[in-house]
Amino acid sequence: MNHADIDKLVKTWIVDAAKSPANPRVQQVVVRVLGDLCKAIEDLDVTPNEFWSGVSYLSAAGASSELGLLAAGLGLEHFLDLRADEAEAKAGLAGATPRTIEGPLYVAGAPESVGFARLDDGSESERAETLLMQGTVFDEDGKPLAGAKVEVWHANLLGNYSFFDRTQSDFNLRRTIITDDQGRYQFRSIIPVGYGCPPDGTTQQLLDLLGRHGQRPAHIHFFISADGQRKLTTQINIDGDKYLWDDFAFATREGLVPAIERISDPQKLDAARLQQPYA
Ligand code: MBD
Ligand code: FE
């Protein structure tokens, strides 16, 4: 069937069959996606077996709550970022810390504190490197923003996230820090290890068929929000990670790989710790 006939046919199923759509936007998107799918089936001569394997695959991915992970691994979530960048550039709003994907592992409601938080529960202290990070939230005029909300979350030494990993304590490696009167936040945690897709999961199953790995470099997630401001969703990556520029979710970006200062000299460590409130 040619593409024009497919478009006509899809219109009879979705548009002509409807009295008046409760949601015209949903109708518009469904008509387009369904038409594109039918054209792909036609052009690629997709067999019924192949079609129903696809349906089974998506059912299994949904049943195991991996559709968000799949969207990351297929690059779709990163594509949304590229579009948001374009919209921002058009509006003359470029120049801030770059955005990058949220991923599927955020949990709302992490414990909140002002200025400083320790993220880790101490259970991995013996094997982990201690991480100290500080920053300032600025508004678009470059003025420090007091009272901004900085939500931080990251994986543990096994690349696992609390809540999804039931062996971790509640909200381990997840905190909300409110910036101080000078717009600053500081936290102490552990340097995380990169995430890998569940090896027996549906996302990795497809990645295997595509000849791709399912690894992310070590990273830390942020939401930055404040009244009257646009919200920033971003991450930083840990420099030196093998997967730094080979992220299965395509989230590493220029400007999101901060220099890490490794402190082993005990005197310098004391000096770093003496900065309030690390002391
Ligand atoms: C992650 O930790 C993550 O950040 C993304 C984007 C996908 C899977 C796991
Ligand atoms: Fe992550």
Distances in Å between the Cα of 102 and the Cα atoms of 4, 51, 113, 166, 236 are 38, 31, 22, 21, 12
The pLDDT of residue 221 is: 98
16 and 121 in a single domain? The answer is no
14 and 130 in a single domain? The answer is no
Q: Is 78 a pocket residue for ligand 1 (Cβ < 6 Å)?
A: no
3-state secondary structure of 16: helix
CA of residue 263 to ligand 2 center, whole Å: 26
CA of residue 105 to ligand 1 center, whole Å: 7
| 278 pLDDT above the threshold of 80 | no
At residue 165, φ and ψ (nearest 5 deg) are: -95, 105
| 266 pLDDT above the threshold of 90 | no
Q: Tell me if 83 is assigned to some domain.
A: no
Beta-strand (E) ranges in the chain? Answer: 112-114, 116-118, 130-136, 149-154, 174-178, 184-190, 219-225, 232-237
Q: pTM score, two decimals?
A: 0.95
Q: Is 218 a pocket residue for ligand 1 (Cβ < 6 Å)?
A: no
57 and 171 in a single domain? The answer is no
Q: For the chain, how many structural domains are there in total? A: 2
| 30 pLDDT above the threshold of 90 | yes
3-state secondary structure of 234: strand
Q: Is 101 a pocket residue for ligand 1 (Cβ < 6 Å)?
A: yes
The pLDDT of residue 79 is: 98
pLDDT digits (tens, 9 = 90+) for 222-241: 999 999 999 999 999 999 99
Q: Tell me if 148 is assigned to some domain.
A: yes
Query: Residue 40: which domain range?
Result: 3-73
The pLDDT of residue 129 is: 95
Q: Tell me if 241 is assigned to some domain.
A: yes
Q: What percent of the chain has pLDDT over 70?
A: 98
216 and 269 in a single domain? The answer is yes
The pLDDT of residue 268 is: 79
117 and 227 in a single domain? The answer is yes
Q: Which residue has the higher pLDDT, 56 or 20?
A: 56
Q: Tell me if 110 is assigned to some domain.
A: yes
Q: Is 249 a pocket residue for ligand 1 (Cβ < 6 Å)?
A: yes
51 and 124 in a single domain? The answer is no
User: b/e string for 99-134 if b means 16 or more Cβ within 10 A?
Assistant: bbbbbbbeeeebeeeebbbebbbeebeeebeebeee
The pLDDT of residue 276 is: 65
pLDDT digits (tens, 9 = 90+) for 108-162: 999 999 999 999 999 999 999 999 999 999 999 999 999 999 999 999 999 999 9
Looking from the CA of residue 68, the nearest atom of ligand 1 is 7
> For residue 96, how many other CB atoms are within 10 A of its CB?
16
List, in sequence order, every residue forming a beta bridge with 134; answer none if it has no partner. Answer: 186
What is the average per-residue pLDDT within 247-264? 96
Average pLDDT along the chain: 95
The pLDDT of residue 230 is: 94
pLDDT digits (tens, 9 = 90+) for 168-204: 999 999 999 999 999 999 999 999 999 999 999 999 9
234 and 167 in a single domain? The answer is yes
Domain boundary among 73, 106, 126: 73
Whichever domain contains 227, its CATH number is 2.60.130.10
ipTM over 0.90: yes
